[in-house]
Amino acid sequence: MARAKSWWQKRRIKHRDAVALCVLSASFLLAGELSNPVLVAIYAQYLAPHLANPPLFLLYGFLAVLGFTTAFGAVLVLLGGWYFLQGRIPRGRFFVGLGIGLTSLGFASRLAYHTLTAGSPIPFLEFLTTTLTGIGVLLGLATHTLMGQYALLLKKHARTAWRRWRRSRSPSRRSSRRNGRRASRT
């Protein structure tokens, strides 16, 4: 029968790289969205007048979240990172993919709008590549790719190869003990 894991082994964080990329992606997505001055105007115009009426406030709050899919996507990416932290890879990939997908759909609609109104998507693409939100989308896509089945397999093989290489480079305990005895005799 397998030995029960200690509390320390249960607490160990798995997939640290994906968790770090999720946190970075969500923070860039949120920073890009919160630096937008439109959010304050939306709160003042649509949400603040309905603070006394909770159902209407919740409805308008939900619509505001859907209107700013980048912020909603950032929360979903962060939730995916939490599931990676717990070791629930499929669920984490689902939430990261959903968050990045929602953000990408929001960008696709903005791209279509700018193409129709301005005649060219180039100004919007330049804006996107210079903002924190664009970096957040790229990091989210990297996280989603990193936690795919093939990528997990590659990480496992790379870790095994690294350990073998480290073991072959370090002197064994027996040879170091023998050398220590020989050195003390002379």
Each residue's pLDDT tens digit, 122-170 = 888 787 777 787 787 777 777 777 777 666 677 777 888 888 888 887 7
pLDDT tens string 101-126: 887 787 787 788 888 888 788 888 78
Answer yes or no: is pLDDT of 7 > 70.
no
Other beta carbons within 10 Å of 100? 26
CA atoms within a 13 Å half-sphere pointing along the CA-CB vector of 77? 34
